[in-house]
């Protein structure tokens, strides 16, 4: 908290910032909001399509997942509005708090967490609610790093980051990264690294650092594969990515089934709720990691392309906000865009057999509260950055 204490302008008055809008602020980026909402509602329909038949077969409410997804969207909307009203000063408070709480959450996973699909990543809250701290960690890291760089460089009149700054930033990255790798949750770790990398570049870190870090990542990855740092199932997913047909019931199974579903779709798809592969429940984890395959099968090339286009639009709006923002806002915006872009690419890529299978939700679309809430907060922060940007 010393970082904050040195800031002469820090008001620390939470209630004040939630008062009616300040007169100087710009408006919301409605295109961005509309894009995120469109993705979320598309997600609601796709989750519904993925779950209605199988839920009915289980004697559950066929619309159960639809309702819960809509509820998650509503909560995320509220979070977005709250986040959008943070001003720059509160952001400095908000950043470390989100970072520290997420870190504590990651630690708590090891104490009270539950294991799903090989990863020890969830905290059961009771009443059927679960929390995945790694989703919030993505946000916490982006904001935490932004606050660090801005705070440090503000003291030196916005000079480029020094070696010490980079080392401090690397510490911020290393802590959660290590904990997520221990869960182990390779997908989240990759997203975390991608977002952090984006912030580093946006902060103007020298080229030798960025190149060095890239090289280091490659070395670590090679060591991890060769040295047995990765769990067997993770390796299996990587090898199944290179040889999908090999083990139809094992690791490559998800990919093969998703591939079948998407190939089924053709140009216009089989029609919503009419995908045999989807209705039969053939694609594992279809409402979460493989939700894109629903779009691929039932909405076809057109539907899939629209989804991909929406992500493009979303990233473009995010980068536009970054370009118009001050230094702190730029770092946050770039980090968020990198996070969402990488995660969406990785997720759709694995549905299409382009990238290895890692357990990652498709932002806004996949079923799951934690990721939806974190993304709501992220869109809210982008709005906050835009609203505080100079015209």
Residues 328-387 close enough to bind another protein by CB under 8 A: 341, 345, 348-349, 352-354, 358-361, 366-371
Dihedral sign (CA 208, 212, 213, 214): positive
Other Cβ atoms less than 10 A from the Cβ of 80: the count is 25
CA distance 365 to 47: 8
Residue 83 or 190 with smaller CB distance to another protein:
190
In the complex, minimum distance from the CB of residue 72 to another protein, in angstroms, rounded to a whole number = 8
According to CB under 8 A, which one of 142, 165, 193, 289 is a site residue for another protein?
A: 289
Q: Does 265 bind another protein (CB under 8 A)?
A: yes
Residues from 27 through 66 that contact another protein (CB under 8 A):
51, 53-54, 56-59
Q: Quick one: which segment of 36-44, 77-85, 88-96, 276-284 binds another protein (CB under 8 A)?
A: 276-284
**Cα 383 from chain centroid (whole Å):** 17
Q: Does 18 bind another protein (CB under 8 A)?
A: no
Count Cα neighbours of 32 within 13 Å in the Cβ-side half-sphere.
27
CA distance 19 to 17: 5
Other Cβ atoms less than 10 A from the Cβ of 58: the count is 12
In the complex, minimum distance from the CB of residue 180 to another protein, in angstroms, rounded to a whole number = 9
Residue 147 or 315 with smaller CB distance to another protein:
315
Residues from 79 through 138 that contact another protein (CB under 8 A):
114, 116-122, 128-130, 132, 135
Residue 249 phi, psi (nearest 5): -95, -10
Q: Does 175 bind another protein (CB under 8 A)?
A: no
Angle of the 327-351 helix axis to the 88-112 helix axis, nearest 10: 40
- Take residue 52 and report the two structure tokens written for it: 């209605």
- Take residue 362 and report the two structure tokens written for it: 């498709």
Q: Alpha carbon of 362 to those of 78, 139, 298, 346: distances in Å? A: 21, 16, 17, 9
Residues from 299 through 318 that contact another protein (CB under 8 A):
300-301, 304-305, 308-309, 311-312
Residue 148 or 191 with smaller CB distance to another protein:
191
Size of the site for another protein (CB under 8 A): 78
In the complex, minimum distance from the CB of residue 108 to another protein, in angstroms, rounded to a whole number = 15
Other Cβ atoms less than 10 A from the Cβ of 111: the count is 7
In the complex, minimum distance from the CB of residue 41 to another protein, in angstroms, rounded to a whole number = 18
């Amino acid at each position: 908290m010393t970082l904050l204490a040195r800031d002469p302008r820090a008001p620390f008055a939470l209630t004040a910032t939630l008062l009616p809008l300040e007169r100087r602020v710009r408006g919301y980026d409605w295109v961005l909001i509309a894009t995120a909402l469109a993705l979320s509602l598309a997600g609601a329909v796709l989750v519904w399509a993925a779950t209605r038949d199988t839920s009915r077969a289980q004697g559950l409410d066929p619309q159960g997942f639809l309702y819960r997804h809509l509820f998650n969207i509503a909560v995320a909307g509220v979070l977005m509005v709250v986040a959008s009203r943070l001003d720059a000063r509160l952001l400095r408070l908000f950043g470390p708090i989100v970072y520290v709480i997420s870190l504590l959450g990651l630690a708590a996973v090891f104490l009270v967490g539950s294991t799903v699909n090989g990863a020890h990543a969830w905290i059961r809250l009771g009443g059927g609610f679960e929390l995945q701290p790694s989703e919030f960690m993505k946000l916490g890291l982006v904001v935490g790093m932004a606050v660090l760089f801005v705070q440090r460089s503000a003291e030196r009149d916005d000079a480029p980051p020094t070696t010490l700054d980079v080392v401090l930033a690397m510490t911020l990255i290393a802590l959660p990264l290590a904990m997520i790798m221990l869960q182990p949750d390779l997908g989240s770790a990759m997203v975390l690294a991608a977002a952090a990398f984006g912030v580093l570049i946006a902060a103007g870190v020298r080229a030798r650092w960025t190149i060095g870090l890239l090289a280091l990542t490659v070395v670590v990855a090679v060591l991890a594969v060769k040295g047995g740092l990765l769990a067997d199932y993770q390796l299996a997913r990587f090898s199944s990515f290179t040889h999908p047909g090999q083990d139809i019931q094992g690791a490559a199974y998800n990919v093969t089934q998703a591939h079948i579903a998407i190939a089924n779709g053709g140009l216009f798809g089989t029609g919503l709720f009419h995908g045999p592969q989807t209705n039969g429940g053939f694609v594992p984890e279809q409402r979460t990691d493989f939700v894109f395959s629903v779009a691929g099968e039932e909405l076809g090339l057109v539907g899939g392309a629209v989804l991909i286009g929406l992500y493009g639009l979303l990233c473009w709006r995010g980068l536009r906000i970054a370009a118009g923002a001050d230094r702190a806002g730029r770092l946050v915006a770039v980090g968020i865009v990198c996070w969402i872009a990488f995660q969406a690419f990785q997720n759709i890529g694995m549905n299409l057999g382009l990238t290895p299978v890692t357990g990652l939700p498709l932002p806004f679309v996949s079923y799951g509260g934690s990721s939806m809430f974190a993304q709501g907060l992220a869109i809210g922060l982008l709005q906050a950055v835009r609203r505080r940007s100079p015209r």
